[in-house]
Chains A and B, each alone.
Chain A
């Protein structure tokens, strides 16, 4: 059967090339009867072939098609521009929202900047501080920022105390300026210790840096919930302990030997007192505007002879003055009889707390306070000698 299909195809090709049916079938006489009607029908099928379309019709339809293409192109451009306009509108709305959020956010932060604990916006202030710390990568800037925040905590606390607001949770850090069994004074803030207060394992000493977590009380004190010791050298707010200053003033009155202006008539060896009080401090203490009984801690420096060293209790005696050196920076090799320069302050317990002690000259005759040869290296040796003489005279008297 395949054979007749092949022969039909060959015959059709020959007819297409111009041969007639009889001529084609002459080659295949055995298929002539079967193929003749098929081939004649194929000629009729070929006669049905349509002529070429008229040029006019082709041109008209061409124009119509191109017009349609142009319409679609235009619609496409409009659609694209509409897409962009919608996109731009969305972008604009997003931008406006972001700006609004930013403005309202910064406004909120600004509004919260003056809040104190207990205010509604106070958490915003603390969160903003945390955010600032989070994005501060320079260690020095970070330390400075933390220091500013600690100062801010103290200012907030002072404001709370001034307003008499109680039961407000506070958290601040500072140096211990005085201590007793039931009370600490940290950065001038009286901190009440209760049996429920969580204390650190190591004892809290005067001058130690601590963090206090507690609740304000209406009487201007803070009831401590927790006391934490901070690492030595932590950068903490400057001490502004009014009570210490008050005690300092009282101490000055009672102990003229460390008062630079009234060191005459003392029974003890009178060291030179060098108060490093700033001019502002002076104006506060001596000014008429300063309330009575309110003054600041004064750093005091003086020189004298080292008379004894009690290493166990960290107490040295310099020119008759007992000094607490537990937190002191000691420069030089301390030996009995050495001339030392002492810098420190009196705490509320009337103990002189040494911040820094410098061994100016070593002792040639240990323990001999009257040996003039010790003073040869000292610029003030003559003065010291005279003072020694005075002291001796006073003692004799």
Chain B
């Protein structure tokens, strides 16, 4: 292990491959409490994409997803200084925090609804009929998705947005697997109904 580490370093020094230190979650958490730059950067590099894609799936907006995902990591820094940060599953803590942040965002959106121009307005460049249909289809699904319960949204985001397994989704949502199976069935059935309702509007 040590030899391979030295070899990797040699290769890195020779410019053959970039050095990729092994990620140690516990070490990263310890470093995070000390606000160590390397540890903070390592955690960000490992989880930002997942958090962003989860948020993006649920809110359907790049900018909002970027803001919320970034805010999740700032909250992680602050929580680690208050001894309220994650102790075991960093990913679980990040996804849970992201879910809460999204729910807060959606509640605010519900009180002050705004039209999402990016997906609702047709693009002048989308002159091709198929592309227009696809965009329209996406808009309908997105609109139907918004009408699901937060729990249904979350299970769809984790299972189909993130591609997590049933077991992983069960852990993150703190439910047993049978409950997740039933929840995902009801969520898909509800989304299907809502797509029909939105299509007929």
Contacts and interface: CB of A to CB of B under 8 A. Distances in A.
Contact of A44 (B34, B78, B195): B195
Given A41-B195, A44-B137, A61 B181 contact: no
B160 A49 contact: yes
Counting from the closest, the 6 A-B pairs by CB-CB distance are: A50-B56, A5-B181, A45-B160, A73-B35, A41-B192, A50-B53
A65 B52 contact: no
A48 B60 CA distance: 8
A53 B45 CA distance: 12
Given A48-B160, A69-B37, 13 more contacts: A4-B185, A5-B181, A5-B182, A38-B192, A45-B161, A45-B191, A48-B138, A53-B49, A53-B56, A62-B41, A65-B44, A68-B77, A73-B35
A66 interface: yes
Contacts of A12: 159
Nearest to B45: A62
A42 B160 contact: yes
A9 interface: yes
A134 interface: no
Nearest to A44: B141
Interface string A219-263: 000000000000000000000000000000000000000000000
Interface in B172-194: 178, 181-182, 184-185, 188-189, 191-192
Contacts of A273: none
A347 B41 CA distance: 103
A61 B49 contact: no
A47 B163 contact: no
Interface stretch (B62-70, B89-97, B123-131): B62-70
B85 to A, nearest CB: 13
Contacts of B77: 65, 68-69, 72
Interface of A: 1-2, 4-6, 8-9, 12, 16, 37-38, 40-42, 44-53, 57-58, 61-62, 64-66, 68-70, 72-73, 76
Contacts of B195: 41, 44
Given A38-B189, A62-B41, A65-B40, A46 B184 contact: no
**What secondary structure prevails in chain B residues at the interface with A?**
helix
B79 to A, nearest CB: 12
B131 to A, nearest CB: 14
B49 A8 contact: no
Contact of B161 (A4, A5, A41, A48): A48
B45 A38 contact: no
B156 interface: yes
A38 B192 CA distance: 7
Contacts of A41: 188-189, 191-192, 195
Contact of B141 (A9, A45, A64): A45
A198 to B, nearest CB: 73
A37 B178 contact: no
A48 B195 CA distance: 13
B37 A66 contact: yes
B184 A64 contact: no
Nearest to B142: A48
Nearest to A9: B181
25 contacts: A2-B178, A4-B185, A5-B181, A8-B188, A9-B181, A38-B192, A40-B192, A41-B189, A45-B156, A45-B160, A49-B57, A51-B53, A53-B48, A53-B56, A61-B44, A62-B45, A65-B40, A65-B74, A68-B74, A69-B35, A69-B37, A69-B77, A70-B37, A72-B35, A76-B81
B101 interface: no
Contacts of B137: 44
Contact of A50 (B40, B65, B74, B141): B65
Interface in B117-173: 137-138, 141-142, 145, 156, 159-163, 166
Nearest to A45: B160
Nearest to A77: B35
A58 B184 contact: no
A51 B60 CA distance: 11
Contacts of B69: 53, 61
Nearest to A71: B35
Contacts of B192: 37-38, 40-41
